[in-house]
Amino acid sequence: MIRVRAPATSANLGAGFDVFGLALKEPFDEIRVEESDEIEIRLSGLKEGVPEGRGNVAYKIAEELGVTARIEIKKGIRSASGLGSSAATSAGVTVALNELYSLGLSREEMIDISARGEEMISGSYHADNVSAAILGYFTVVRGRGRNLRAISIPLKLKVAVCLPEIRVATFQARRSLPEFISLEEHREDLSSAVMMIYEALRGNAEKFGELMNRGIAERLRKKFIPFYDEVKRAALESGAHGVTISGSGPAIIAVLSEDSSGVERAMKEVFERNGISCECFLTESGEGARILEE
């Protein structure tokens, strides 16, 4: 039997739509796999809204790899949260099955297989979350299949995450984006994305966070999150370096200084003042999916 812990992730991070990812230390999924004559899926934990049986991404991953196994998934990441719930399962199951059957997959191959598993569920191929879930920390990915390339930069970030009790489906959020953008919008996002990579390499969390405040995806998707502008303003006024929508939302992520405090409370107060329950917590950037010792 193989046990794997796979982290929650935040994608896009402002200007890096479908390219940037960030692995979080918490929350996480735990996956157990063992040999079996058929593909079996067992769910526990935060399983509301998570497909079972053949509809689960883990089933798709096993089929893609051509193996059978009993797969137990303890969900610690809420579905439709914007925190890479299905990506954690995809990445964790891929890593676990690769180890169980000694498949010898490279990191890029595992990322691509995980992304293809997600594509079967969501209808679109995007490897930003699964790259972070496998490699850890701040990741940059491009391409697919044999052309896929991904890097991880060990950027240490303290972050606040606020998850309101609303649901935003990935396919719904993706439909809100235009097929084409203006040259000015492209230039703004591209320059911000390049500078974010530069600041990540320098380990400058403050500048990285400030650059995260920009991005066309945020501007077009914030309509799905009530009071988003007010929440963002409260976080920035409380000392956050940068605030943006995590993936498709509704989770909101804020980059903090090491000595900052109260940002998560400020975000929570805005939602609760307006009648929306939410969970807010502090975490930090962390490693990707890892095999646990028995």
Whole-prediction pTM? 0.94
Of 98, 130, 154, the position where a domain reaches its end is 154
Task: Tell me the C-alpha distance between 16 and 45, whole Å.
Answer: 31
User: Do 111 and 192 fall into the same domain?
Assistant: no
pLDDT confidence tier of residue 220, bands split at 50, 70 and 90:
confident
Do residue 116 and residue 11 come from a single domain? yes
Burial (CB count <10 Å: 0-12, 13-18, 19+), residue 258: exposed
Together in a domain, 169 and 227: yes
Read off the DSSP letter of residue 120.
Answer: H
Residue 293, in any domain of the structure: no
Q: Residue 170 catalytic?
A: yes
Q: Please tell me whether residues 35 and 173 are part of one structural domain.
A: no
d(CA 250, CA 225): 6
Whether residue 173 sits in one domain with residue 42: no
Domain extent, residue 142, equals 2-154
Q: Does the pLDDT value for residue 185 go beyond 90?
A: no
The whole-number pLDDT of residue 122 equals 73
Clarify whether residues 38 and 163 are in a common domain.
no
Q: Is residue 291 part of a domain?
A: no
* CATH label of the domain that carries residue 253: 3.30.70.890
Judgement on whether residues 69 and 111 belong to the same structural domain of the protein: yes
132, part of any domain: yes
Give the active site residue among 170, 199, 244, 264: 170
Q: Dump pLDDT digits (tens) for 76-85.
A: 999 989 999 9
When pLDDT is averaged across residues 130-158 and rounded to a whole number, the result is 97
Q: Is 118 a catalytic residue?
A: yes
Q: Are residues 149 and 252 in the same domain?
A: no
Give me the pLDDT at residue 186, please.
Answer: 84
* pLDDT band at 23; cut points 50, 70, 90: very high
Instruction: Please give the structure tokens belonging to residue 2.
Output: 């193989």
Contacts of 102 (CB under 8 A, 6+ apart): none
How much is the average pLDDT of 237-248? 95
Q: For position 179, what pLDDT does the model report?
A: 76
Q: What is the CATH number of the domain that holds 82?
A: 3.30.230.10
Q: Could you tell me if 117 and 259 lie in one domain?
A: no
* Overall number of domains in the chain: 2
CB atoms under 10 Å from CB of 17, counted, come to: 18
User: Looking at the structure, do residues 273 and 206 belong to the same domain, yes or no?
Assistant: yes
- Which of these ranges, 6-10, 161-165, 176-180, 196-200, has the smallest mean pLDDT? 176-180
Question: Greater confidence, 44 or 186?
Answer: 44
| pLDDT tens track for 89-112 | 999 999 999 999 999 999 999 999
Nearest-angstrom CA–CA distance, 26 and 8: 7
Where does the chain have alpha helices with state H? 57-65, 85-100, 107-122, 128-135, 170-175, 183-202, 205-211, 216-221, 228-237, 263-273
For residue 262, what are its two tokens?
């109260």
pLDDT of residue 178: 67
**Catalytic residue (choose from 72, 118, 199, 210):** 118
Query: Is residue 292 assigned to a domain?
Result: no
Of the chain, the end-to-end C-alpha distance in Å amounts to 9
The pLDDT assigned to 170 comes to: 63
